[in-house]
A and B are shown apart, each in its own frame.
Chain A
Amino acid sequence: QVQLQESGPGLVKPLETLSLTCDVSGGSISGYYWHWIRQAPGKGLEWLGFVHHSGTTNYNPSLQSRVTISADTSKSRYSLRLNSVTAADTAMYYCARGAGWTPEFWGQGTLVTVSS
């Protein structure tokens, strides 16, 4: 059974870069789409983007080119970088895997707070 585990700083200062990692265990990175999705406190879900194992990426244009998602197949992990964060980026961040574009299987999430 595949397991996904998000990790990274729980507190990021405004205008700095948010960096998170999703470690994949119990399965291969190859052949799947690897997503990042977030949920602000008390709000709905927002898709940030995905990386395919081939390196193809697709991002939500609402993030205005602040986001980068990359995969390290040798380490079975993938990463999220979000530049120039503000308080509006405070959220629970989830990584998720999909055989197609649908994120079928999710990690438990990691809370990131943007504050000075």
Chain B
Amino acid sequence: EIVLTQSPDTLSLSPGDRATLSCRATETVTNNFLAWFQQKPGQAPTLLIDDGSYRAPGIPDRFSGSGSGTDFTLTISRVEPEDFAMYYCLQASHAPLSFGGGTRVELK
């Protein structure tokens, strides 16, 4: 099973700051089948990025994904107030699918 480790656990930022979230896998995520989700309190997760770097429909371009192999990054170029939330990565290249433990982006 591929284990995903997200860092940092918590990111304390001000609106307008740049956010860099990391997701590291214990094995190569083939075909960049790595996705990023945002989850706000009391809501279901929402897909932000699929296949490592492709924004899902309707996702603002301040969100971007990069990386390959075992190291992936989600970047929010300028954090907006509505971006304070939990973020999870998911690998979908090998069964069982697995999620990272999450990074909380909070208001500084």
Contacts and interface: CB of A to CB of B under 8 A. Distances in A.
Q: Is the interface of B mostly helix, strand, loop or mixed?
A: loop
A109 to B, nearest CB: 5
Contacts, number: 56
Given A45-B99, A106-B44, A106-B45, A100 B88 contact: no
Interface stretch (A8-16, A58-66, A76-84): A58-66
A73 B47 CA distance: 25
A54 interface: no
Categorize the interface residue count of chain B. Answer: 20 to 34
Given A58-B96, A101-B93, 13 more contacts: A45-B37, A46-B99, A58-B95, A60-B97, A61-B96, A62-B96, A98-B92, A101-B33, A103-B47, A103-B90, A105-B47, A107-B44, A108-B44
Interface of A: 44-47, 49, 58-62, 94, 98, 100-109
